[in-house]
Structure 1
Amino acid sequence: MTKDRDFKRRVRERMAKTGESYTAARAHLLGERPAAPDAASPAPPAPPPIPSDYLELAGMSDEAVAEATGRDWPTWTRWLDERDAASLSHREIARLLADHTPGMWWAQSVTGAYERIRKLRDHGQRRDGRYESNRSRTLPVGAAELFRWISDPELRARWLSDPFDEGAVNPPRSVRLGWPDGTRVQLYIEAKGESKAQISAQHTGLADADHRDRQRLYWAERLDVLKALVS
């Protein structure tokens, strides 16, 4: 089993570098040429059609994702289907997308949307069955200054006063926080220009959909308070 997992990991690393399909990358590593289609053999099953409600599942318009990444949701779905992404873990899909999107926030966003479109998980649900809440705001302040508002304890206390344990701090991009109930929050900063930046709050480890919905409201309120402070 370990050898199989190691080989699959090597295949996916090659896919990420070359853009090859899973079959072509596997054949290369095995020292084989990709087999030509055999008219006598049945074709592999085609991926299921993209559902009509894919925009609701993705949670973002085609225009928005295409403007940021160069592909709309149907194109991303087919691109990932060709790479057998439905068989990968969330982390493996995000790693596959890392070199094809403008940042890890977009890699994570496309990964989550693909998993929902392909019914691998529910809205706000992780592959392990737990839920997460994601909220973001674009604020009229540069990324460096906005990072101060999430990393400086005194500034952060002005908009986020709940008790928590501070975890990893990665200037100038993110801060990790541990909540008293055992859940985790990751605050991300992404520059949108010299005087504009986006903050995203990802709250993970939530027990169910109700917990997710409560935290979505909570983070919407907290980020609105932050926006009022920096505006």
Structure 2
Amino acid sequence: MTRSAGSPGSAGRKITEKLSADVLKASTGRDWEAWFALLDAWGATARTHTQIARHLTDDLAVDGWYAQSITVGYEQERGLRAVGQSSRGDWQTSGNRTVEAPVERCEAAFTDPGVRRRWLPGSEFSLRTHRAGKTLSADYAGGRLSVRFTPKGEAKTQVSLAHTKLADARAVAAYKTFWKERLAVLKTLLEK
């Protein structure tokens, strides 16, 4: 969600990449401004990410996913972290694509160097861990790549990836675009 230039404290900065105020309110009973006011009154700027999220789940009965989204949005709005920055201070981006192909073919696009070269440029991919049919991690482009394969039927798979340990916000922006393009190429390749 991006605030309009006329809203309080905005200067057009991005609050969160995931939820609009309307979706947040429909799902949690409060919009961003109400959550921010509640967390400010609780003293959240002096708390850790874990403490804020735990307060939302344990004390305010917010679902875990929404609690994380609210916590990240709050931290970004209050300048405790930038968009793309984790609570530990490192930089990361993510992407996903649903592909009309079974898990095994999607997985091979990462584990088979010949297939990987057809959609992912560069030779700096180094496999670290691999749980067949589920996940893998690799060193890639100076960062760490974590990939999850979620079957959506016999011949359909959601490929979700996180690229962590990036250098800075500029790298986050560049890799966000990069992974959107690369996952589109992967989809085209595997759906032939």
The two structures share one fold, judged by TM-score above 0.5:
yes
Deviates more, 1:157-166 or 1:189-198: 189-198
The 1:140–1:130 alpha-carbon spacing in structure 2 relative to 1, beyond 3 Å, is: same
One-letter identity of the residue aligned with 2:15: L
Residue 148 of structure 1 pairs with residue 108 of structure 2: yes
How many aligned residue pairs are there?
172
8 Å contact from structure 1 (residues 167, 176) kept in 2: yes
C-alpha displacement at 1:110, in angstroms?
6.8
Identity of aligned residues (%): 28
Residues 218 and 116 of structure 1, relative CA distance in 2, 3 Å threshold: same
Listed as ranges, the gaps of 5+ residues in structure 1 are: 1-50
* 1:186 corresponds to 2:142: no
What does residue 117 of structure 2 align with? 157
SS in 1 for 2:15: helix
Mapped contact 1:63–1:72 kept (Cα < 8 A)? no
Higher RCO (CA < 8 A, seq sep 6+): 2
Match of 2:6?
none
Per the alignment, do residues 154 and 212 of structure 1 end up closer, same or farther by CA in structure 2, a change over 3 Å counting? same
Q: TM-score, normalised by structure 2?
A: 0.63
Partner of 2:81, secondary structure, is coil
SS at match of 2:173: helix
Q: Comparing 135-144 with 166-175, which one deviates more in the overlay?
A: 135-144
Matched residue, 2:188: 228
**In structure 2, C-alpha distance between the alignment counterparts of 1:149 and 1:213, rounded to whole Å:** 24
Match of 2:134 in 1: 173
Structure-1 residue corresponding to 2:157:
197
The structure in which a higher percent of residues are strand is 2
Instruction: Indicate the SS of the match to 2:137.
Output: strand
Structure 1 residue 112 displacement after superposition: 4.2
Please say if residues 128 and 136 of structure 2, whose CA atoms lie closer than 8 Å, have aligned partners that are also in contact. Answer: yes
Secondary structure of the corresponding residue to residue 189 of structure 2: helix
Q: Could you state the TM-score of these two structures normalised by the residue count of structure 1?
A: 0.54
Residues 101-140 of structure 1 aligned to structure 2 (within 5 Å): 112-113=72-73, 115-117=75-77, 119-140=79-100
Contact 2:96 / 2:160 at 8 angstroms: preserved in 1? yes
Contact 2:22 2:31 in 1 (8 A): no
What is the CA distance between 1:74 and its match in structure 2? 4.1
Question: In structure 2, how many angstroms separate the alpha carbons of the residues matched to 1:152 and 1:91?
Answer: 42
Deviation sequence 1:85-107 (CA, Å, 0-9, x none): 8734469959x97xx568xxx99
Q: Does 1:58 align with 2:29?
A: no
